[in-house]
Amino acid sequence: MVRSRILMLPMLWLPLLFWLNDVLGQTKEQKDFDLNKTPPPEDSSEDEVIHSHQPMENKAIDVPTTIEAKVNQSKKKRKRKSETITKDRAERKKVHDREMARERRKGIRERRLAGTLTESDKRSLERLKAEKKRYAEKHKEHLAKYNSNYRRNHLSECAAKSRRWRSRNPGKSKRSE
């Protein structure tokens, strides 16, 4: 019996509190905080002159041209800086991707030597071979030119190195011949 009374008391008080809140909420006057309105006449005495608050307007401010030039310069600098940041990010991303690909290939090589290639490894190897083949087909002329230039330059570089070495070491060069 005591427990039921303890449980009933909050249930009886809740509707009373809601009703009281509604009644008190209706009696309050709502305040109007609009500063652009004139104050009501009953608040002031008859001797006072009532001035209404002037509303704030966005008036154009004359800015000297030197300040405008500085602002434009700083905008250009920020733009240039953001462009370099994006270039740096792209470059870092390329380097990171290159490193990750190198690591992946290294792992595939190790697994191939160990004889533990997975299906995904085999697919990636096939894809790499196909990409290399497609690239070689598309860029035949460029690759041929690059390889011939490389061979020519490499051979001339080696010949120049051996000539320099022979000119510096005449005794050793005669013995080696």
Mean pLDDT of the chain: 78
| pLDDT tens column, 112-122 | 888 888 898 89
In a domain, 100, yes or no: yes
Give the closest residue to 51 by CA, choosing from 34, 69, 67, 37: 37
In a domain, 50, yes or no: no
Give the closest residue to 37 by CA, choosing from 18, 13, 20, 54: 54
Give the residue, 147 or 72, on which the prediction is more confident. Answer: 147
Are the beta carbons of 112 and 105 closer than 8 angstroms? no
Q: What is the mean pLDDT of residues 19-32?
A: 69
In a domain, 80, yes or no: yes
Distances (CA, A) of 177 to 8, 17, 19, 136, 151: 117, 115, 117, 42, 25
User: Given a cut of 60, is residue 46 above it in pLDDT?
Assistant: no
In a domain, 148, yes or no: no
Radius of gyration of the chain (CA): 43
**Structure confidence at residue 131 (pLDDT):** 94
Full domain range(s) for residue 109:
69-117
**Structure confidence at residue 34 (pLDDT):** 64
| pLDDT tens column, 61-101 | 655 566 677 777 777 777 777 777 778 888 889 999 999 98
Domain count, the chain: 1
**Structure confidence at residue 140 (pLDDT):** 94
**Structure confidence at residue 135 (pLDDT):** 94
